[in-house]
């Protein structure tokens, strides 16, 4: 049989044996139970800031409700009071004209620190204090009550630890989900500039920074070429190199010369954007107005996301250089096969090195030979140009299309999985299907152009560039065998590729 103390502890444990969103929700459940159990007039919860010798009042519970309170009480010079509280876990106070006791709460919460430029996880000790009050001077606290209150305080401490751990896990999960959502921007944005704007707005929204800024460097990483800024209102502003002052320009050297992987003050954090030896820019996050401290959890999450941004920006710049060098097919204005093979090898290396996805899309124009035979090669060239125009204007800046030969075209999709590739394939299909041959060459008949597309993805479908190209071609073969005019991913049609022969 339980004695009274054990039974009370068991009931209290049962009432708190549930998941709480945060410390406040736990205390709102626990303090009213204590108030009713011991017939208290008031009960307070304090955070004990030991380094400042301050009891910081957070919550008060009286009658049937709890309310937030804010008051700092200095305990400097209270050595006897503190010694007894720390040694025994409970002590009475004679400062009030009515009975009141203080109860020590001690628990641990997950935290992060920085050592030698590296972030590490650890459990941080936290201390709180409960003050229990009875206004009736003749109703002091008995020794049995104190013993039970102390035991209940330990139960609250245990639950505070579990709640803080659960809250930290939920925060990490929410951050990961938010960053994954933002990463899909790279799979749907047609232009890098638009994608970066949406991403910065998303980061500001999810992390609630006062301001998020992206600085991009010039080709030699010597000067800041442009800046993009999103403030707390979600407003986007842009700056050209001429509008960026020397004070901001000096940040470039500071950020990249810092020994740590980031440069930070209490309310500002800078994260460099680098791809191997290439410096493409840096991100700046600040809470200068709100003065809210930016924690290490924020830094770790954003650092991982920043590496994806750096890779995408670098890919876009490489594509721009190709255009500047006129390294494209004269008829279609798509990059030539030689350039594509070089870029394909680079992206495959990066995908393997950094565990990234990479997809390949092969397409050709349905019945292209019949278009040439029936309407002439001039119309065939026109069809190629129109299809290429749709491809150029429908892809992201980071994607690399190529005229592979004849009417066959290949599109490389960095950091893109099979499902994301199908979104792009559907976009191309819909837009190209809307093209009609000039009616003056077709005797007034409305003839639409259609395409067939095959998709393969690394690492799910293939482990090498040659194998990836072959798997995409196999998927295209199945599409053409089944009537043309649509697209398929290799993993969905692998069982239909047994009789495949490379044309």
Are 186 and 195 in contact by the 8 Å Cβ rule? The answer is yes
Q: What is the C-alpha to C-alpha distance for residues 433 and 485, in angstroms, rounded to an integer?
A: 9
The answer, yes or no, to whether residue 1 has pLDDT greater than 60, is: no
| 260 compared with 195, residue with greater pLDDT | 195
Model confidence pLDDT, tens digit, residues 69-79: 888 888 887 87
| pLDDT for 356 | 93
- At 113, the pLDDT band (50, 70, 90 cuts) reads low
The answer, yes or no, to whether residue 67 has pLDDT greater than 80, is: yes
Sign of CA dihedral 152, 156, 158, 159: positive
Average pLDDT over residues 101-108: 92
Model confidence pLDDT, tens digit, residues 183-218: 666 555 546 666 778 778 878 877 788 898 988 888
Partnered with residue 263 across adjacent β-strands are 270
Between the CA atoms of 30, 149, 92 and 108, what dihedral angle is there, to the nearest 10 degrees?
Answer: -60
The answer, yes or no, to whether residue 271 has pLDDT greater than 90, is: no
The answer, yes or no, to whether residue 101 has pLDDT greater than 90, is: yes
Model confidence pLDDT, tens digit, residues 388-405: 999 999 998 889 999 998
Are 456 and 220 in contact by the 8 Å Cβ rule? The answer is no
Q: What rounded mean pLDDT belongs to the chain?
A: 85
Q: What are phi and psi of 249, to 5 degrees?
A: -60, -35
At the top level of CATH, the class of 185-318 is alpha beta
- Where helices occur in 283-414 by DSSP H, the ranges are 296-324, 337-353, 368-375, 377-394
Q: What is the C-alpha to C-alpha distance for residues 271 and 264, in angstroms, rounded to an integer?
A: 9
Cα dist from 496 to 180, 462, 473, 478, whole Å: 33, 17, 13, 7
Q: Taking the domains of the chain in order of start, what are their residue ranges?
A: 4-169, 185-318, 326-496
Model confidence pLDDT, tens digit, residues 124-178: 889 999 999 999 988 999 999 999 999 999 999 999 998 888 887 777 776 667 6
| pLDDT for 453 | 97
CATH of 326-496, one of 1.10.1040.10, 1.10.760.10, 3.40.50.460, 3.30.70.270: 3.30.70.270
Q: Do domains 4-169 and 326-496 have the same CATH topology?
A: no
For residue 200, give the nearest of 224, 166, 236 by alpha carbon.
236
CATH of 4-169, one of 3.30.70.100, 2.60.120.260, 3.30.450.40, 3.20.20.150: 3.30.450.40
Q: What are phi and psi of 98, to 5 degrees?
A: -140, 160
| pLDDT for 360 | 96
Average pLDDT over residues 460-471: 94
- Where helices occur in 296-336 by DSSP H, the ranges are 296-324
| pLDDT for 184 | 65
| pLDDT for 182 | 65
């Amino acid at each position: 049989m339980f004695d009274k103390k054990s039974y009370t502890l068991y009931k209290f444990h049962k009432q708190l044996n549930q998941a709480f969103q945060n410390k406040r929700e736990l205390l709102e459940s626990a303090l009213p139970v204590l108030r009713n159990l011991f017939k208290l007039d008031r009960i307070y919860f304090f955070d004990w800031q030991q380094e400042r010798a301050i009891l910081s009042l957070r919550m008060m519970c009286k009658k049937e409700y709890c309310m937030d309170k804010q008051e700092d009480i200095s305990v400097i010079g209270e050595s006897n009071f503190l010694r007894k509280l720390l040694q025994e876990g409970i002590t009475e106070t004679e400062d009030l004209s009515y009975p009141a006791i203080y109860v020590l709460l001690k628990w641990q919460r997950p935290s992060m620190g920085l050592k030698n430029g590296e972030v590490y996880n650890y459990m941080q000790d936290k201390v709180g204090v409960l003050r229990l009050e009875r206004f009736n001077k003749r109703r002091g606290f008995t020794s049995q009550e104190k013993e039970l209150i102390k035991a209940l305080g330990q139960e609250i401490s245990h639950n505070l630890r579990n709640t803080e751990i659960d809250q930290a896990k939920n925060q990490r999960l929410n951050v990961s989900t938010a960053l994954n959502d933002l990463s899909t921007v790279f799979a749907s944005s047609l232009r890098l500039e638009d994608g970066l704007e949406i991403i910065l707005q998303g980061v500001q929204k999810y992390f609630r920074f006062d301001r998020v800024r992206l600085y991009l460097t010039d080709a030699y990483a010597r000067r800041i070429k442009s800046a993009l800024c999103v403030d707390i209102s979600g407003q986007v502003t842009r700056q050209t190199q001429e509008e960026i002052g020397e004070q901001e320009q000096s940040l470039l050297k500071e950020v990249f010369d810092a020994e740590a992987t980031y440069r930070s003050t209490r309310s500002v954090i800078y994260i460099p954007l680098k791809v191997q030896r290439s410096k493409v820019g840096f991100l700046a996050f600040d809470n200068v107005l709100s003065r809210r401290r930016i924690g290490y959890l924020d830094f770790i999450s954003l650092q991982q996301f920043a590496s994806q941004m750096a890779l995408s920006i670098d890919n876009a710049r490489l594509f721009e250089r190709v255009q500047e060098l006129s390294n494209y097919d004269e008829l279609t204005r798509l990059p030539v096969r030689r350039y594509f093979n070089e870029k394909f090898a680079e992206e495959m290396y990066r995908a393997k090195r950094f565990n990234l996805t990479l997809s390949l899309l092969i397409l050709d124009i349905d019945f292209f030979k019949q278009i040439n035979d029936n309407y002439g090669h001039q119309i065939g060239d026109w069809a190629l140009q129109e299809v290429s125009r749709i491809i150029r204007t429908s892809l992201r800046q980071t994607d690399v299309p190529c005229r592979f030969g004849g009417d066959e075209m290949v599109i490389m999709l960095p950091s893109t999985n099979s499902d994301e590739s199908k979104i792009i394939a559907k976009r191309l299909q819909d837009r190209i299907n809307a093209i009609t041959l000039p009616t003056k060459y077709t005797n007034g008949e409305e003839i639409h152009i259609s395409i067939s597309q095959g998709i393969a993805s690394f690492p799910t479908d293939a482990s090498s560039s040659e194998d990836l190209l072959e798997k995409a071609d196999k998927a295209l073969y199945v599409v053409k065998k089944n009537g043309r005019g649509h697209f398929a991913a290799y993993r969905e049609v692998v069982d239909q590729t047994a009789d495949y022969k490379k044309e």
